[in-house]
Structure 1
């Protein structure tokens, strides 16, 4: 859908993903808030697209008869009507609580050129004409809803167009004759144009905008493990100057989806209106992602000697491990080792104004690889660390980066006697900071997709951190081809 009122309203509706059904579920994990500033931008973008569409409008030929006492009866026909120019002004997009949106355009004009021909008895003539249409007002109400899958729907529930003034300028040998009854011609042209404008708008909503909205997926892939459900949960909430649109925002395992039974906390959003759009993302979404990763074993890790940097002073074999536990070489001379790290429980995101952090708790178990390739456990350690999280943004995604503090290690069990916890702690921190966390940050850099339609990009982004949710403000740009 490259032209038409598809981009008009897709700029807005695709962004809003509005619906007006009954409540689908509990609290949303993601809320999109559109301000009056965002509606104003959408109206201006819609105006440009509607102008392009009106320039391509096909007007029907129309005919009529005339009767003048001094001349008698005759017949005329206007044909080959083409729009030469279209100027739409003063767009206004308003909320209709419980229904959808109202788009109004006023004080607009259209210039049209065409051909005419007329006959009186055996006399025939033809020529050209110019039609100036001024004082056009257009009003259309859009009823917004959703289907059973949670995708948005739209219909033009009411449309009206009015034309204040129509001037026809006829040239040609009998042009003076047609000018004698220009009022009749202008009245007929006014009615044709008024009907055609609304016909075009209704057709574009049905054939362009509605199919466009239906292509918007209700789920999106985050990575090879996670997906997110963007279906709508209830009707938008309209209040002074803003509209809140609620998304389920449920993170799920793409390979084995199961219902989320944890309640989503209520987000009390601030009354900001400086940006066009705001996204409130609940901690719940991130914590469910953490739980899915944990259940899938994605947060666990294994360390073998070939995974250590070549310049590491410590190798994963019993000989090199002797400084940690001197007795290990007596029982297991010159054997390879493996460390397996397990996250005890899914780490939850801790947020307070201006700060995001995680406090994962892990256990690391050390194994000796016997000549038979069997693994024998020799020690078990507990590990706690605090990780600060920073967020960055692209035009369409939220991306994260981990900034860990040093891990703290304690001995839980040793089957090989004394164990130097402090030395192992230094080794573990070296590995985590140089290998494990960089790998994790590479994954986080892939980003968390925001619910945006095609060709919508965000800029001037501003992040605020509140208790239980992140609040991202942005302005919107529609990228034209």
Structure 2
């Protein structure tokens, strides 16, 4: 499982998107070192499963002639992998090297010679100077998920020492070198297939990648793999699609991803760059779904507020409302007129939005009488943070501008309503928006992945998340 976790981390770095990705990921040397620690522990467990077949045959041994032998019930007692390293091979993958490894096993021996003389006992075999090298190649399957394979594995045994117990020492000393050579060959043939199996065993876990991550009833984010990673001598650099879609309807937004470059950071294991394209595609999705609209009634205004949603309050600024609709409660419909636009500048994220505000008087029979329609342009500052494996945030009002769209009650000074609508924004709309933003949006994850030591910076045209990673299970 530990090797699985490491290769899941490696595979995560293969997610890409088109010519200009919405999200980029960088796996650093520090991340590779963490993966090496996990991978070595898992390979060590895998090598403990080595099963050597019984060995039998005959050998001419001077001066006694032909000796028939068999070695049975061989099993691994211990495996040690004290030295290992990972390195990046541009264009090929990730090379794992293991050196000065050792293992030990024991078993039973039996010989027959001079046709009728038999002898038997047990033996211990120690292997030292074992070395293994293999390359992990990362590709993609038809679903856009990564797959891994082990390539170019080479295993060699440095020295083999065999110690026999029981029987006549003069006898087995005559052929122990031959037996050691045979067992060395059998071991070398076992190691690389086991390493390849350990790598292949990861692929079912790669199916846990949230290629299409559900956000809520309106939106999902696609993190599919569309091209191979770029492997340099210092990092694995990749690109993810990073695009929001309406649930069940994948329609591209009317703009393309902006170009941005990841900085050469190396303090964390993993870096994610999320562009303004990703955020703005979310704005298109929620606008298209009609989710950016809200009816506001008086019971949504805090009881302590002196401003109420009724014709008496509004009549103080627009007398004709109080005259023609006396003593009635009111309802406001705030609706996005177009998709909001999110911009990232150094240390600053801003959302600009255009909406319409339609005011209604609620008649005694429940019907709505339209009073006026305002055009509202505003901007908010966004604070963004990582919570678990989700990207969350909150906003605060910067500015708001109101203009009259349509009036059903005659001319009036729109400016006089600024105080009321700033209150509506601050006490109702922004808190509801913050409640939604606090739930967060899923980041690309694989398996039981945990982000630790996470920092987030707002850069030009993108957000940069630096994080370390832990896997469990």
SS class of match (1:445): helix
Q: Closer, same or farther in 2 for the Cα pair 1:18/1:233, shift >3 Å?
A: closer
Partners of 1:26 and 1:273 lie apart in 2 by 25
How far, CA to CA, are the matches of 2:302 and 2:7 in structure 1? 55
Whole-angstrom CA distance in 2 between matches of 1:261 and 1:372: 44
Q: In the alignment, is residue 161 of structure 1 matched against residue 158 of structure 2?
A: no
Answer yes or no: is the 8 Å Cα contact 1:127–1:175 preserved in 2. no
Q: Out of 363, 369, 372, which is 2:362 matched to? A: 369
Question: Are 2:195 and 1:201 equivalent residues in the alignment?
Answer: yes
8 A Cα contact 1:83 1:113, kept in partner: yes
Distance of aligned partners of 1:312 and 1:391 in 2 relative to their CA distance in 1, 3 Å threshold: same
Find the counterpart in structure 1 of residue 145 from structure 2. 151
Provide the residue aligned with 1:289 in structure 2: 282
SS of the residue corresponding to residue 328 of structure 1 reads: helix
- Identify which of 10, 13, 32 aligns with 1:12: 10
Shift of 1:157: 2.7
Alignment match, 1:177: 171
Name the counterpart of 1:467: 460
Aligned counterpart in structure 2 of residue 332 of structure 1, from 314, 317, 325 = 325
- TM-score calculated relative to the size of structure 1: 0.91
Shift of 1:324: 3.2
Distance 2:155 2:381 in 1: 57
- Describe the shift of the 1:119–1:395 C-alpha distance in structure 2 as closer, same or farther (beyond 3 A): farther
* 2:341 alignment partner, SS class: coil
1:187 aligned residue: 181
**Among 73, 88, 109, the residue aligned to 1:95:** 88
SS at match of 2:291: coil
Contact 2:386 2:456 in 1 (8 A): no
**SS in structure 2 at match of 1:385:** strand
8 Å CA contact retained: 2:242, 2:278: yes
Q: Is the 8 A contact 1:77 1:118 kept in 2?
A: yes
Q: What secondary structure is seen at the aligned counterpart in 2 of 1:435?
A: helix
Q: Distance in 2 between matches of 1:377 and 1:187?
A: 95
2:26 aligns with 33
**Within 2, Cα distance between the matches of 1:359 and 1:183?**
80
- Partners of 1:18 and 1:404 lie apart in 2 by 36
Paired residues, number: 472
Give the aligned CA root-mean-square deviation in angstroms: 2.4
1:28-427 alignment, distance < 5 Å = 28-120=21-113, 121-206=115-200, 208-405=201-398, 407-417=400-410, 419=412, 421=414, 424-427=417-420
Deviation at 1:146, TM superposition (A): 1.5
8 A contact 1:8–1:50 mirrored in 2:
no
2:15 and 2:240 in contact (8 A); partners too: no
Following the alignment from structure 2 to structure 1, what is the Cα–Cα distance between the partners of residues 326 and 5?
72
Hey, what's the Cα distance between the residues in 2 that align with 1:387 and 1:217?
31
